[in-house]
Every structure is written in structure tokens, then in C-alpha cells.
Amino acid sequence: MQMNCSNNMLKTACPMLLVIPFLIVFISCTVTPTTDDVIIVDEGLRMKIIGYVAGWTEPDIENIDATKLTHINYAFANVIDNRAVLQMPYDASHLSRLNALKEHNPDLKILVSVGGWSWSGNFSDAALTSESRLQFAESVADLIREHKLDGIDLDWEYPGQIGAGNIYRPEDKQNFTLLLKEVRKQLDKMSVEEDRKGLDRYQLTIATGANEAYQQNTEMDKAQQYLDFVNIMTYDFHGSWTPTTGHHTNLYPSGDPSGMSSVMGVENHLEAGVPVEKLVLGVAFYARGWKGVETVNNGLFQPYETDIPNVSYSDLAANYINKNGFIRYWDNDAKAPYLWNEAERTFFTYDDEESLKYKTDYIKEQSLTGAMFWEHSHDVTETLLGVLFENLLDDTRIDRTGNE
């Protein structure tokens, strides 16, 4: 996820749609989830669709089709003085309006995402000591109570890495796990106090990097036990930081020397020890682009002069795809579309309806738990959301008793 104004600041089913409840297994073998070690086992045989809603975009909340989502992650809260803090004056109103969507889908879960690209600078401090971790976890619990949330999503970009000029330490690797453990403990304590059970237990999720560096700086085999599921940010493989154009959210590798792909992101998590049933594949509702691209190979994997601010899929469909000199091409190896305007030497990489069909097929074939997208305002017609819903949720409706 990203969070800066110049770079698209950064991840419901029908009323009868549900996420299968989580089974809580306690290491102490007691029946009260207040022990230090709590393992979360997700029985989610039914798919999830998690949509990020960016608070700063003035989201059109009332027009979100809540029946096509299982979760909404509201972005972002900041980390200040070891506390999760909502900083924008309209956050409370937005969260109230998001909660009102439950009138259309009572099983919709509303979470706040903490951090993002620009607001991860203080995570390392918050995770540093047992005292700071407790302070952070208690602030999360307070935030959930105050805004009637269903859980929290942590988007630390990134443990053990500098990110956007952040504070980082080698011990982030272990401290991240300990932070998740403390947050999980506080959420379970609160669930017991409020008699929230099964599907209604407070949830803890994270957004993760797709590359190997993320795994090298975390302990995902240990961390995953405290998580309900993991949203992999399988996008932004190419951008202003790469020397050439390329696919930014391709499913499979193609001719890219970096070899990055969504499949690789999943495999990195599996190799790190995250169960497949806890993995959520990230998809992009926005395009990345470049100008001054070399006129070779229809602009794909070519050097460029400058990058272009991200373009929403809605804008792309209205003004660029096979319009105004842009031609849509398809990389069959990568299962990814791209746009090329040779006269203007301009190139765009993005997800569309065809690429999402391949991704949803992959999710089902590999038994992942669903899809996550960044972010809702980039798809105002909900065209891409519709593809996710039709292929992941529309044929998997169940009620609370588990009856088809």
C-alpha cells in the first residue's frame, strides 16, 4: 500500500454471505483466550474480498456495493508515540458511514489499516519493548471500541527496511512477531469480554511485501499464528524506482529480468511458513505509467525518461484503453495487459477484467483464501470489483449455519 498524494496514497457479499468462522486453539489448552500464545487457525473455505478505502480520497461510501465485499480496510491510521491514531478530521465520519453499509451486508467486517507507505515511520519504536508493544496494542483496542470496528490491519512498510525513510532496526524481525502477539492477546481479551465468538471475534490482519526481502526481515512462520489472514501486496513490481518499464502486477513471470510476479509473492510466503489458507492475493485497481519510453517491444521492459502519476482503472477505461492513440496489448506469459502509445512514447501497466479472471482462477486452484485490492476509488463503476465477486463469491454464498 502506498500513501502519498502524488503516488495514489496507499488493499461484500450478499446479506447471506459469510466468512467461515475462525477456530481458536490455545497453547495452554485452557478455554479462556488470555494466554500469551494463541494460534489462529482459519477454517475459511469460503472466499474473502478485502477492499481498501482511502480516507483522503473523499470516498463515495454510500455507493460502495457492500454485498460484493467481505471486508473493508479503511486507510490509514498513523503510529504516534507508540499508539495507533486516526489523524484526519473526517475519519470518524467515514468510519460511521462505512459501518452503515452493514445494513446491506450484516456480515461485512470494517477494519482500520495502520501505517502505509508514509505512516510506517514509528512502527519500529512501537514494537521495540514490551512496554511500547502493550501501549500500542491497548491503543488498537481503544480504537476498535471507539469506532465499532471488527478488527485491525497492520501495514508496516517494512520491518527491518527503510521504506520511506523510516526508523528501522535489525531486531524489527523479532519485534514484529512480538507486536502481533500482543495485539492478538488484547483483541482476544476484548472478544471474550464482549462475548464475540466465531465470525464475530475481533480480527487481526497484515499487509505484506511480495519480495524475498520481506521474508528475510520477518518471521512469518511464527507471526502467522497470530493472524486471521495475510494480504500480500502483489503489485508495484515496477515504478519510478526501476530502470525500465514492466508489469507492476503480473500473475506470472514473463521477460522481466527481475522475475517478480504475483505467483512468486505467494510462493515466498509459502516457503516462509504461512499456510496457504491464510493467504490473500493483492490486485491493483490502478495503473502505473512512463513517458519517453524507447520504441522497442511496444514499450515493454524498456528504459524511459520519466514516470507518470498513477491512473485509476476508471480513468484508464474511459480515456486510454484503445483510445487516444493507446493500444491494448496482452502478455500471455504474464497474463497481464499493457497499453502503448508509440507516437507519445507512453506505456501503462495495469490489471483489467481479463487479468483478474486469471487471478481468481489461480486463487481457487491454489486454495488461497481470497483477493484484496487497492483501492476502491480507482474503480468507481465497480467493474473490477464485479469480476472478483462473480468469480470468488457469487457461487459460494452460505448462511450462518453453513447451509448452501
Half-sphere exposure of 46 (CA within 13 A, CB side): 24
Active site residue 294: no
Q: Which of 43, 157, 171, 212 is catalytic?
A: 157
Q: How far apart are CA 149 and CA 229, in angstroms?
A: 17
Contact criterion met (CB below 8 Å) for 103 and 156 = no
Half-sphere exposure of 391 (CA within 13 A, CB side): 21
Q: How far apart are CA 71 and CA 56, in angstroms?
A: 19
- Cell numbers representing residue 319 in the block: 480515456
Q: How far apart are CA 269 and CA 220, in angstroms?
A: 8
Long-range contacts of 186-190 (CB under 8 A, 24+ apart): 186/137, 186/138, 186/140, 186/141, 187/140, 187/141, 187/144, 187/151, 187/152, 188/24, 188/33, 188/34, 188/38, 189/33, 189/34, 189/141, 190/141, 190/144, 190/145
Q: How far apart are CA 360 and CA 325, in angstroms?
A: 30
The H-or-E segment that residue 371 falls in is strand 370-374
Q: Which residues are catalytic?
A: 157
